[in-house]
Amino acid sequence: MSKKKIVLFVVLTALLSSILTIAGICCMLELNAGRAANLARLLSAMHFIEQNYIETVDYTKMIDGAIGGMVHSLGDPHSVYLDQRLYNQVKSDTSGSFGGIGVYMGFKNGDVHIISVMPNSPGADAGLQAGDRILAVDGIPVNEILPDEVAIKIRGKAGSNVELLIGREGQADTIYTVKRDIINVKTVADKMLDDRIGYIRISSFSEKTGEEFKAALNELEAQNMKAFVLDLRENPGGVITSCVEVAKEIVPKGPIVSVIQRDGSKEVYSSELEQTKYPIVVLMDQNSASASELLAGALQDTKAATIVGTKSYGKGSVQTVMPMFHEDGLKLTIAKYYTPNERSIDGVGIEPDVEIKSDRLLPRLFNVETDIDDDAQLAKGVEILSDKLNGGE
């Protein structure tokens, strides 16, 4: 065989091998001709950048950016690409060993503001105050990242520092360096408002919220409670199974929530409670989201409670985290919640039965003292329950 034929054979073999490899990838990824062409565009762009950009390209960083861009193109604020640092923080979060700074945050009109600061927490020690606006985290402006990423970036290893650029009324913007620590949060607080009406606040749904709620309910029952206000304002949601545990105590028998995936598969959580024990008013606002909306929606649909306040946030979706191959991961929306009446609240929220607006900063669990005269929503809730207890509708 001549030298030319050998070279031609080698070239053809390599070409055939490349074609078979690409065909194999297309088959594995279930790519049709159109998708294969788009994949070729992506690979061509990557190759052109790598070969021609004026500086040496970090290939891994470029791939990270491509994946992040794909997730961003979904237009879903709850789907996020997690690079190595963010992914490790999420893993620490779910294992219960994450560090925080001890603040509750609210998200309104693109702003991130501090609702409350826990006493004796890293945030309190650093001088953070309720009403402060968080403008940047470690030098990254908050308007350049999603709300979920803001929270993830503030969390981190206990003992490490996070820098926050804080805006405070009447003062110049200031950088606060806060040393993270392990934060143990109680999510439920309770008290009697008068001799008949109780008050239960749930700040979020953690793994222990179900137990805490049952204890609060028992404590108020022992004080002869006849009705109660359930305060879900500024509650961002959390663990769905804990929310279901709470719902089983106060939602009458039947479906609580349905979780439906893209393929139509459905998981239904139900209550076995024969009947509700007490009249209930639920307080909600624009920062009540996810699991708190799930609970309020179930109570509203079953007519087990009256919803007072303002329309909720509208997060009726379920996320999962998929690990990838480089200590990174994808946090992706995979399903939606539906209320007992098969309402989807995603992007819609829950309309209150009685709309009462309030710009008041909300007391948190460590400050559960409530002033009805200074809280129009709570005052309305108490009025409604009093009417019910006095024989009104």
Q: What is the pLDDT of residues 318-375, one digit of tens each?
A: 888 888 877 788 888 888 989 999 999 888 999 999 999 876 555 444 444 555 667 8
Q: How far is CA 327 from CA 80, 156, 330, in A?
A: 15, 16, 11
Instruction: Say if 98-182 and 188-389 have the same CATH topology.
Output: no
Instruction: State the catalytic residue, choosing from 271, 290, 317, 377.
Output: 290
- The segments of the chain whose pLDDT lies below 70 read 1-33, 89-98, 108-109, 148, 359-373, 392-393
- Domain covering 188-389 in this structure, CATH number: 3.90.226.10
Q: How far is CA 62 from CA 57, 72, 217, in A?
A: 8, 15, 53
Beta-strand pair 354-355/306-309: parallel
Instruction: State the catalytic residue, choosing from 319, 336, 386, 388.
Output: 319
Model pTM?
0.70
Report how far residue 306's alpha carbon sits from residue 217's, in angstroms, rounded to the nearest whole number. 18
Amino acid at 258: S
Quick check: is 315 catalytic?
yes
Class of the 98-182 domain? Answer: mainly beta
Q: What is the pLDDT of residues 227-262, one digit of tens each?
A: 999 999 988 888 889 999 999 999 999 999 999 998
Question: CA 390: distance to chain centroid?
Answer: 39
User: Could you tell me if 208 and 215 are in contact, meaning their C-beta atoms sit under 8 angstroms apart?
Assistant: no
pLDDT (0 to 100) of residue 110: 73
Nearest 5°: phi and psi at 243? -60, -40
Quick check: is 286 catalytic?
no
Instruction: State the catalytic residue, choosing from 315, 331, 358, 377.
Output: 315
- Domain ranges for the chain: 3-82, 98-182, 188-389
Q: Which two tokens stand for residue 304?
A: 């087990």
Beta-strand pair 140-141/254-261: unpaired
Report how far residue 210's alpha carbon sits from residue 101's, in angstroms, rounded to the nearest whole number. 24
Classify the phi-psi angles of 126: left when phi > 0, otherwise alpha if psi is within -120 to 50, otherwise beta.
alpha
Cα 82-24-31 angle, rounded to 5 deg: 65
Three-state secondary structure call for residue 261 = strand
